[in-house]
Amino acid sequence: MSDEEARQTFQRIRWSSNDGEAFCPRCGCLAVYAYASRPIWKCKGCNHQFSVTSGTIFASHKLPIRDYLLAIAIFMNGAKGHSALQLSRDLNVQYKTAFVLAHKLREAMASEVQDEEISGEVEVDGAYFGGYVKPANYKENRRDRRLAKNQNGKRRVVVIMRERNGTTLPFVFKSEDASVETIMNRVERDTVIHADEASHWDAFHGRFETKRINHSQAYSDGSACTNMAESFFSRLRRAEIGTHHHISGKYLAAYANEMAWREDNRRVSNGEQFGVVVAAALAHPVSRQWKGYWQR
């Protein structure tokens, strides 16, 4: 695919509601004209100049448009994520460029369910990530790393709300009990919640029909289970151990949202996933967190 063909692909996806014909992203005016010297348009209504990536998460890009399509295709091919180092080698760019680009894609993927509420049957659970403390060399100097006083304070818990046959919503907290209020706000009242025997989940009984499972006795008793939540944690754990090797606490939410998206779309073909992510990236506004490209 030439860069012009890639640009036309971006154009068809971004303005699919107008049969691929460009219109002003600022005022919505359909009357625009193209420049002959540069691949941009100008609105006849408000005189705004724009390109196929203006106002999107790819705004002010320096890489060729074709490289972004290739990056998304490669990124979607990883069942348990794709590391920025591997992406930098595939695209022949610096690691920092690939790191920023991958996080922009994660941000676009997470925006699909940013304000969504879930209902039906929802499984709730939490798992801790990060904060690894290396054991001392000599046995007599080793401490019980499970105790809070022997930890480094970097551990974070990912709390998942997973709707059966529906949406997966992950959140990151310092402790599992801090998630109760957030779950209350993102789950509709007629929901059936499945949770384990942790005491902080007792608050759900006053608002939802709540089914509990004691994992020391069984993982499923025919009525309650959190196996789908555990399936999400398995994917995230494999991504941490096998793909990224280390996930910083301040980026943990981004990786959790990526794995939630992959879990929700695991039955969708790679081609469809590619189309959805390209459309989400072109519909997403300019990122406030991820800016800049690091070539040169």
Domain containing residue 221: CATH number? 3.30.420.10
Could you give the count of Cα atoms lying within 13 Å of 257 in the half-sphere of its Cβ? 20
Q: Which residue has the tokens 């060729």?
A: 64
Distances 34 to 6, 27, 62, 100 between C-alpha atoms, Å: 17, 17, 21, 31
Q: Does residue 2 belong to any structural domain of this protein?
A: yes
Tokens representing residue 257 in the block: 């949202």
For residue 88, being part of any structural domain is answered with: no
Q: Do 132 and 37 sit in the same domain of this protein?
A: no
Among 54, 76, 91, the domain boundary falls at 54
pLDDT tens digit sequence for 3-41: 899 999 999 999 998 999 999 999 999 999 999 999 999
Residue 46 lies in a domain: yes
Residue 101 lies in a domain: no
Is 32 part of any domain?
yes
pLDDT for 290 equals 86
Q: Is residue 79 part of a domain?
A: no
| 30 and 143 fall within a common domain | no
Do 143 and 16 fall within a single domain? Answer: no
What mean pLDDT do residues 170-189 have? 94
Give the number of domains in the chain: 2
Take residue 240 and report the two structure tokens written for it: 């941490």
E strand spans, 82-151: 121-129
Of the candidates 10, 26, 54, which is a domain's last residue? Answer: 54
What pLDDT shows up at residue 121? Answer: 95
* Whether residues 242 and 139 fall in one domain: yes
Question: 153 or 186: which carries more pLDDT confidence?
Answer: 186
189 and 261 together in one domain = yes
pLDDT tens string 91-103: 999 999 999 999 9
207 has a pLDDT exceeding 60: yes
On whether both 39 and 150 belong to a single domain, the answer is no
Token duo for residue 27: 């005022």
Residue 128 and residue 229 in one domain: yes
- The DSSP-derived string for 146-207 is TSGGGS-S--EEEEEEEETTS-EEEEEESSGGGGHHHHHHHB-TTPEEEEES-GGGGGGGGT
Contacts of residue 70, Cβ cutoff 8 Å, sequence gap at least 6: 90, 91
For residues 120 and 47, membership in a common domain is answered with no
Residue numbers of the domain that contains 46? 1-54
Q: Give per-residue pLDDT as tens, 101-129.
A: 999 999 999 998 988 999 999 999 999 99
Indicate if 256 and 133 belong to the same structural domain. Answer: yes
Q: Is residue 291 part of a domain?
A: no
CA angle 127, 105, 20 (to 5 degrees): 140
CA distance 157 to 173: 5
pLDDT over threshold 80, residue 257: yes
Shared domain for 39 and 119, answered yes or no, is no
Residue 249 lies in a domain: yes
Q: What average pLDDT does this structure show over 232-250?
A: 93
pLDDT in tens, 282-293: 999 998 888 765
Does one domain contain both 258 and 166?
yes
Shared domain check, 118 and 50: no
pTM above 0.75, yes or no: yes
Question: What tokens were used for 77?
Answer: 């091919």
Give residue 280's pLDDT.
Answer: 93
